Amino acid sequence: MCGICGMVSPGRVDADVLRRMSATLRHRGPDEEGYYTDADVGLASRRLSVIDLTGGKMPITNESGSVWVVQNGEIYNFRTLRRDLESRGHRFTTRSDTEVIVHLYEEYGTSLFEHLRGMFAVALWDRARSLLLLGRDPVGKKPLYYSFDGSTLLFASELKALRQHPQAHFSLDWQAVNHYFSHHYVPEPLSIFREVRKLPPGHWLELQHGNLRVQSYWKLDFEHPFTETDERWYVEQLHERLQHAVRARLVSDVPLGAFLSGGVDSATVVGLMSQSLDSPVKTFSIGFDDETFDELRHARVVARAFGTDHHEEILKPRATDLVERLADQLDEPFGDPSALPTYLVSQVARREVTVALSGDGGDEAFAGYQSHRVHLRDEAFHRRVPGPLGALAVGAVGLGARVSGNTRLRRTAGALRRAHRPLAQRYCNVFDADGRRQLFTRETLAEIGALREHEYFAAHARAQAYPDFLSRILAVDTATYLPGDILVKTDRMSMAHSLEVRCPLLDQELLEFAARIPSHLKLHQGVSKYVFKRVAERFVPHEIVHREKRGFGVPLRAWFRGELRDLVREHLLQNPNGAHSLFNRRTVERLVSEHEAGRWDWSLQLWSLMMFHLWYDRHGTNPRAAGPAPTCDTVQGTARD
């Protein structure tokens, strides 16, 4: 696990700039640094040593020194790949997983990524062809930003490294701002800056002689579900793949453990780890003083069942400390409050281990979110009450809610409105379009233009001939929310503590199998993750398998009316500088006052606003500054010049 960065700038590579870029990534790789430079290219790596501690220093080259590579991540099938490559005549000088990438490129060119199983962001320089190749893992576990002005290309694991280059003059991307206040994250390929893009998951980028090309190499296939009708077959096949995914992630030359939330996903991972390891698994959990959100008692049930070496800590709202530290780690605005416990559980785990396994990905693969049931219910309502009749019902309930102020009616009206929107528009979970029109100033709305964030989700919803509505939802979640929110949170918060996190439920072969499981075995008679739970029942305590789904929630509503009240007011109302010119002050004041008075729960909206202000104070730029549009953007896996 590492941080990588570099540049292609013909005749103008500055080694000192490259070192400054690398220095910003030290938290991602504190063990050693490495560089390769020539007249046209510079590659840098900050390494967190996990495999081949003494011999795996990067950059790594081939026998002739003509191909160089740096990598952020882990390749889990590297031993199998190495044996095959050695049989083809390739010679290895290390035990590192990164070295297989060099020889795969020699053998397969840009098709090399189709052979890798793991989490990775890769940069490879072919000196003989003057070609830079960047690649990102299929799901997007590891980040990769790039900026290209037609001459110089910069890339890095985090935005802060790009900003060390003297040519890096960045301006706000207004559509990214719009997306953020709709979804509380900035989705690929956008970044918060117009001049920077994220390489989308499952894509590679090639730059040669000033010509830049971005290409997709992988996508999940939901179009061809299995026709097997025996439920037992799915349970057996899934169990086998889960075992393989966990075992593959136990390869390490340093201590490893697991996050344990008390849910079925992390419990299943811990259980499978316990079956494969000779010593007790080290497990780590976070809880709250507020029992409504506290999961520790459930985590303890799992820890006792598998005899783990368990560690836990209580998260308290230390506003001026923890929230500020959280903001320091984020290069882009990020409004998911579960980053707080993720930050702290990573801190706790790093005291004992260098690698931790997590249960991320189970909900997207097997339909575990409450929203999946809500979407199906909304769709059923939409089919039963179509067109004008549905619009009449929405209007009637909405009028009743406004007249009476009844909270239940307001929620019902919201559900009815959602049901009559296209699927893509239902993903606006922070401020809907009307809310953003009230939030932004007229000047900001003019910069943004049309509020078209739903088109991003619509493109993914149309990407395949989905066999049913649930498959479409899972495909959209896997392509958007998973890499844009869940994996950003896990990567940034763990890397803040130099902790590598591995996600066996996001194993590529496991995901490919799960995508083809018929939907009625994922959401079965109201039971979410049905087939997954059938496997978990074999070894996970029954009360954990069948307990109600709980997210990694944070008691923000109470905190914002109590311990964090002053912090909210300080950043949203009292500071007249920074990003305040983007927002309508009267709207912000209304949100704060209604929340404090208990008239409405605006905690997610206030948190998203506060995190934007904290980000802007640290990393923002003149919001009205104009920068050149990016030379190459990526839309649906193709290049747009």
Distances in Å between the Cα of 521 and the Cα atoms of 146, 231, 260, 470, 518 are 40, 8, 26, 11, 6
Q: Are strands 256-259 and 282-288 parallel, antiparallel or unpaired?
A: parallel
- Using CA atoms, how far apart are residues 477 and 87, in angstroms rounded to an integer? 40
Listed in sequence order, the DSSP H helices in 249-338 are 264-276, 296-306, 324-328
- Using CA atoms, how far apart are residues 17 and 7, in angstroms rounded to an integer? 10
Task: Report helix angle 99-108 to 78-87, nearest 10.
Answer: 50
- Using CA atoms, how far apart are residues 343 and 329, in angstroms rounded to an integer? 10
SS3 state at 202: coil
In terms of Cα–Cα distance, which of 20, 72, 24, 22 is closest to 48?
Answer: 72
For the question of residue 2 being annotated catalytic, the response is yes
| Contact predicate 138/483, CB 8 Å | no
**DSSP assignment string, 432-484:** -HHHHHHHB-HHHHHHH-S--THHHHHHHHTSS--SSHHHHHHHHHHHTHIII
Q: Are strands 355-357 and 145-148 parallel, antiparallel or unpaired?
A: unpaired
* Catalytic member of 2, 5, 503, 632: 2
DSSP letter assigned to residue 383: H
| Structure-token match 């964090």, residue found | 564
Q: State residue 180 phi and psi, 5-degree precision.
A: -60, -45
- Using CA atoms, how far apart are residues 271 and 280, in angstroms rounded to an integer? 11
| Contact predicate 517/226, CB 8 Å | yes
| Contact predicate 517/471, CB 8 Å | no
DSSP run (H or E) holding 87: helix 78-87
Distances in Å between the Cα of 4 and the Cα atoms of 137, 149, 158, 234, 557 are 15, 20, 9, 40, 38
Strand order in the sheet with 197-198: 32-37, 41-47, 2-8, 153-156, 145-148, 197-198
What's the angle, vertex CA 109, arms to CA 104 and CA 114, rounded to 5?
Answer: 65
- Using CA atoms, how far apart are residues 177 and 3, in angstroms rounded to an integer? 26
Active-site residue set: 2
